[in-house]
């Protein structure tokens, strides 16, 4: 029973540290590389969860499930590849590789 208590304390501590990290990163300036990488990471994680959520109602539909099972993994691999490529470029270049979504202007 003591191990369950220790695990729950560990999970609560990790959750609290995650909340603190989110608050600290959200207060960073927009050009900060850590904020840019974590923003891009959150987009990737959200898209991956969305792909999993869409898979549940699509699976019973014949034909569409095969197309979904082939296309979505390819799209996810490409999407995550672009994240890691951008993260490596931003760590080597001072300008960063991830676009600043707030500074996009229509011409």
What are 38-58's pLDDT values in tens digits? 888 889 999 999 999 999 999
Question: What's the whole-number mean pLDDT along residues 12-32?
Answer: 91
Contact between 52 and 75 (Cβ < 8 Å) = no
Task: Tell whether pTM > 0.85.
Answer: no
- HEC string of 4-41 equals HHHHHHHHHHHHHHHHHHHHHHHCCCCCCHHHHHHHHH
Give me the pLDDT at residue 25, please.
87
Give me the pLDDT at residue 22, please.
85
Q: For residues 32 and 23, give the distance between their C-alpha atoms in angstroms, rounded to a whole number.
A: 14
- pLDDT-derived band at 11 (thresholds 50, 70, 90) equals very high
Q: What is the mean pLDDT of the chain?
A: 85
The model's pLDDT over 69-104, given as tens digits with 9 standing for 90+, comes to: 999 999 999 999 999 998 888 777 665 555 555 554
Contact between 36 and 90 (Cβ < 8 Å) = yes
């Amino acid at each position: 029973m003591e191990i369950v208590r220790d695990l729950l304390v560990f999970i609560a501590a990790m959750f609290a540290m995650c909340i603190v990290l989110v608050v600290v990163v959200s207060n960073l300036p927009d050009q900060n590389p850590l904020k840019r990488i974590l923003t891009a990471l959150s987009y990737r994680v959200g898209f991956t969860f969305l792909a999993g959520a869409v898979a549940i109602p699509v699976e019973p539909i014949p034909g569409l499930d095969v197309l979904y099972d082939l296309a979505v993994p390819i799209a996810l691999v490409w999407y995550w590849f672009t994240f890691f490529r951008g993260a490596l470029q931003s760590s080597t270049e001072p300008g960063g590789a991830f676009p600043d979504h707030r500074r996009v202007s229509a011409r």
